[in-house]
Each structure stands twice: as structure tokens, then as C-alpha cells.
């Protein structure tokens, strides 16, 4: 049983789950199988795992792929992993904060002989968003399978006119096709966290929006959602020096009510509005 093995390993190495690193170890074999089943791995593909923990998922990834590159922040766990994973010769362990590594450099170094790169991670909740931002900046990553806190998963896949739709949902819809493929109870972890989780399948796609300056566009998305209760016109005019009257004319010429809020617009509509204003 994974739960006993996890307890044994922690006690053998005199370790405890560190809260500051978001350590909640997966102990549910069905969830592990779901992750592997949805990762579309084969012996040609390389895997990046963020936060291998004591290596439960890592072993399965190693058996199903060409190689696994793991980033683990906790030095104590690296010592454990060296032993628990010693049978697998296709695992590379890096003891570093994933947010600090030069991902592009590492991909060049380790994955030149792999057909594709898949990212798999049971993410520490406190850094989910920056990790996703970092992954989406790396062009060679096309598929990401991640476990996130349920509320975050709902926001990442949020649809217009729902309470979960926000700037992050628009970014995800702009860059990816993402879906929740499993609900995961908090009891699937040791120790159990205070929240439930979901598994997300993120496929990075090329869109046809052709925005000239992506950074400016992504900033615009944040601005449109800056204060949820404010109208689109108020949020935009408060940040950019554009007269409200000019904005109102544009908004009405596009067929929207002057009081419309960003949460009612699809990603296509937000792109269109951005282009009319800035490009």
C-alpha cells in the first residue's frame, strides 16, 4: 500500500511533510494511474516533473517515458530520492526551486533526443500560478498534466459569465485548451490538505489571434479584470489615459452595452477590443 510505504520512507529518513514547501504526498493509486493514463507518454517522450516528493509518481513516469527531469526544492528529499529511485537510470534529479531554473537551457541540455516534452506535477498550491506562467513561456512544452487546488482549477478553466472567469482564465483560453479530467479528494494525500484538488490537462495550442505585442495584450487582460465590479470602460480608463467618451463610442460601436464587464467577454472579444484600441 502506498500509504504505508510513504509513512515508512518518511520515518526511515526521519522526515516530516514540510508545510512551507506544500508537501502533501499522493497515496491514492487510482489517482496515480489517471495521471499516467492522461499523460500520453511513450518511450520517445521526455518528462519534466516539478516536486517529485518521495518519488511515487516519478517511478511510474520513468517506466513510461524515455527520461524524467525532476526539480525538487527540498534537499532532504533529494537524499531520499537518490535511494528510492536508484533502480531507474533515466531519472535526472535537480535540487533547485523550479521558479529559479533556466528551463530553456535545461531543455536543450537534457531533451534534445526526445520527441516531445510533457510536464507532470502535483503542484505545491502556493506557487501554482507562477509555475503555470513559467511553463507557458516555454515554446517546446506542448502538454502539461497538473494537480491543482480545486478552486484554482475552476478558475483556470473558467468560462465567460461565471464567477470563476478571470484574467487567468483568459490567459489559459488564449494559449491553451485546458480541461479538468478528474476530481481528487483531499484524502488522497498524506497529510490531507484542507482543500480538494483537480487534475488538469493543458494542451498548449497555437492561436490565430495574431496580437503584435503579447506582453501588452496580457497586461490589458489584467487591466480589464482589475476591479471586477467596475465596468470595462472604468477599468480601462483608470489605467490607460483614454477618455471615457471615446471608450464608450468604441464599446457601443462593437455592439456592447456601455456597462458591460470583462467577465462577459470571450477571449476573442477581448483580443478584438485590444486590437481596436492599441494596434
Instruction: Give the residue carrying C-alpha cell 491553451.
Output: 176
Stretch that binds ligand SAM, among 52-60, 135-143, 150-158, 259-267 (CB under 6 A): 52-60
Q: How far is the CB of 264 from ligand SAM (least distance, A)?
A: 35
Cα(256)–Cα(240) distance, rounded to whole angstroms?
A: 20
Is 153 one of the binding residues for ligand SAM (CB under 6 A)? no
Is 220 one of the binding residues for ligand SAM (CB under 6 A)? no
Q: How far is the CB of 78 from ligand SAM (least distance, A)?
A: 10
Is 72 one of the binding residues for ligand SAM (CB under 6 A)? yes
- Nearer to ligand SAM by C-beta: 71 or 220? 71
Is 35 one of the binding residues for ligand SAM (CB under 6 A)? no
Beta bridge partners of 149: 197
Answer whether 165's CB lies under 8 Å from 159's CB. yes
The torsion region of residue 14 among left (phi > 0), alpha (psi -120 to 50) and beta comes to left
- Nearer to ligand SAM by C-beta: 115 or 187? 187
How many C-beta neighbours within 10 Å does residue 212 have? Answer: 9
| Cell triple for 74 | 527540498
Cα(153)–Cα(22) distance, rounded to whole angstroms?
A: 17
Cα(259)–Cα(252) distance, rounded to whole angstroms?
A: 10
Nearest residue relative to ligand SAM (C-beta): 51
Fill in the per-residue mask, 90 to 129: x = in contact with ligand SAM (CB under 6 A), - = not in contact.
Answer: -------xxx----------------------x-x--x--
Chain positions contacting ligand SAM, by CB under 6 A = 21-26, 50-53, 56-57, 71-74, 77, 97-99, 122, 124, 127
Amino acid at each position: 500500500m502506498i500509504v504505508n510505504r510513504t509513512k515508512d520512507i518518511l520515518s526511515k529518513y526521519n522526515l516530516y511533510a514540510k508545510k512551507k514547501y506544500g508537501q502533501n504526498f499522493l497515496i491514492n493509486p487510482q489517482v496515480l494511474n489517471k495521471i499516467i493514463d492522461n499523460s500520453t507518454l511513450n518511450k520517445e517522450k521526455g518528462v519534466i516533473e516539478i516536486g517529485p516528493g518521495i518519488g511515487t509518481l516519478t517511478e511510474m513516469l520513468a517506466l513510461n517515458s524515455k527520461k524524467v527531469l525532476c526539480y525538487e526544492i527540498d534537499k532532504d528529499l533529494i537524499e531520499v530520492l537518490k535511494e528510492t529511485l536508484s533502480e531507474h537510470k533515466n531519472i535526472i534529479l535537480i535540487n533547485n526551486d523550479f521558479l529559479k531554473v533556466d528551463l530553456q537551457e535545461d531543455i536543450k541540455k537534457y531533451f534534445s533526443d526526445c520527441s516531445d516534452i510533457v510536464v507532470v506535477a502535483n503542484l505545491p498550491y502556493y506557487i501554482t500560478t507562477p509555475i503555470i506562467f513559467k511553463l507557458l513561456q516555454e515554446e517546446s512544452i506542448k502538454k502539461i498534466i497538473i494537480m491543482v487546488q480545486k478552486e484554482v482549477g475552476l478558475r483556470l478553466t473558467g468560462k465567460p459569465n461565471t464567477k470563476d472567469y478571470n484574467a487567468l482564465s483568459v490567459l489559459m483560453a488564449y494559449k491553451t485548451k485546458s480541461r479538468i479530467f478528474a476530481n481528487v479528494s483531499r484524502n488522497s494525500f498524506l497529510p490531507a490538505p484542507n482543500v480538494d484538488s483537480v487534475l488538469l490537462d493543458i494542451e498548449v495550442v497555437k492561436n490565430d489571434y495574431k496580437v503584435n505585442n503579447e506582453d501588452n495584450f496580457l497586461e490589458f487582460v489584467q487591466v480589464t479584470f482589475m476591479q471586477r465590479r467596475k465596468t470595462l470602460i472604468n477599468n480601462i480608463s483608470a489605467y490607460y489615459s483614454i477618455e471615457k467618451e471615446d471608450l464608450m463610442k468604441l464599446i457601443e460601436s462593437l455592439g456592447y452595452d456601455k456597462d458591460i464587464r470583462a467577465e462577459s467577454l470571450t477571449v476573442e472579444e477581448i483580443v478584438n477590443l485590444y486590437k481596436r484600441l492599441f494596434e
